[in-house]
Amino acid sequence: MMRLSNRTGVVVGLLVATLFTACSDSASSNTTSQSTASPQNKPVAEKSALAGLIKNVSLYSVPGRRGDLAISLVVSIHNSGAPNHPLGWVLEVSSPSPGVPTGLKPVHVNGVVELPDSNKSVDLAKEDLTVKTAEGIGSNSQVEGVLTFVLPGTQEGALNHNSSSLILHFRDSQGNQYQTPRTYIGKKVDTTGL
C-alpha cells in the first residue's frame, strides 16, 4: 500500500504540475495577446498641417534709425490638422542688391503702420502674430497677424522693386518645417485661396 500511495502521490503531483503549467501558459498567452492588441486599439495621433501666406508687405525706415529698414508682414496661418502653434519665425530675404541681410527673426514693435494699397492701418502690438498664435491654432482654424523684421544698414531702395522676394519659414511644436510661398515685393498677392 505504501508503494502504491507513493506512486499515486507522484502521479497526482505530476498531474497537478502539468495542470499548473498548462494554466500558467494559457494565462501568459492571454496576457501577451492583450498587450499586443492594446497598441492597435490606440487612436493614431492626428498631425498638424499648417500653411502660411504673406498677404501684405510694408517697407519703412525705422523711426530714429534712418539707416535701418523695417519690414512688416501681414501673414495668414491656416491649420487643417491637429491643434498646434507655429514658432521659430525666420524671414528669408532675396534681393539683387548687395549686402541685404537675410535669416531675420521678428521683433516686437509698438505703433501703427499704414498698409499699402489698402487704406487701412494696423496696430503692430495688438496684431503681433507671435502673440496671437502663442496659445496655438485650433484644427481647421486660421489666424492672421503681423510680423515685423528689421534689416540693419539697409535702405528701402534695396528692396523696393519686383525682383526682391521674401519667404517666411516656421515650424510647429513637433518640429515639422513649413514656409510660405515666395512673395515678390511690389506684386499683389491673390488671397482668395485662404
- Residue spans per domain, the chain: 1-42, 50-184
pLDDT for 136 equals 92
Long-range contacts of 113-117 (CB under 8 A, 24+ apart): 113/58, 113/60, 113/72, 113/146, 114/58, 115/56, 115/58, 115/74, 116/56, 116/57, 116/58, 117/188
Residue 180 makes CB contacts below 8 A (sequence gap 6+) with 52, 53, 54, 75, 167, 168
Report the candidate in 142, 146, 148, 156 with the shortest Cα–Cα distance to residue 194. 142
How do strand 177-179 and strand 165-171 relate by DSSP bridges? antiparallel
CATH 2.60.40 correct for 50-184: yes
Question: What is the full DSSP assignment across 90-111?
Answer: EEEEE-SSTT---SBPPB---S
pLDDT for 17 equals 39
The DSSP symbol for 116 reads: T
pLDDT for 191 equals 53
- The reply to whether the predicted model has a pTM over 0.75 is no
Give Rg (Cα) of the chain: 32
**Bridge partners for 60 per DSSP:** 70
pLDDT for 45 equals 54
- Can you list the residues of the chain whose pLDDT is less than 50? 1-38
Report the alpha-carbon distance of residue 73 to residue 130 in Å, rounded: 12
pLDDT for 90 equals 98
Question: Grid coordinates representing 99?
Answer: 549686402
Question: What is the full DSSP assignment across 12-79?
Answer: HHHHHHHHHHHHHHHHHHHHHHHHHHHHHHSPPPPPP-EEEEEEEEEEEEETTEEEEEEEEEEEEEEE
pLDDT in tens, 59-70: 988 888 889 999
Length of the chain: 194
CB 84 within 8 A of CB 135: no
The DSSP symbol for 175 reads: -
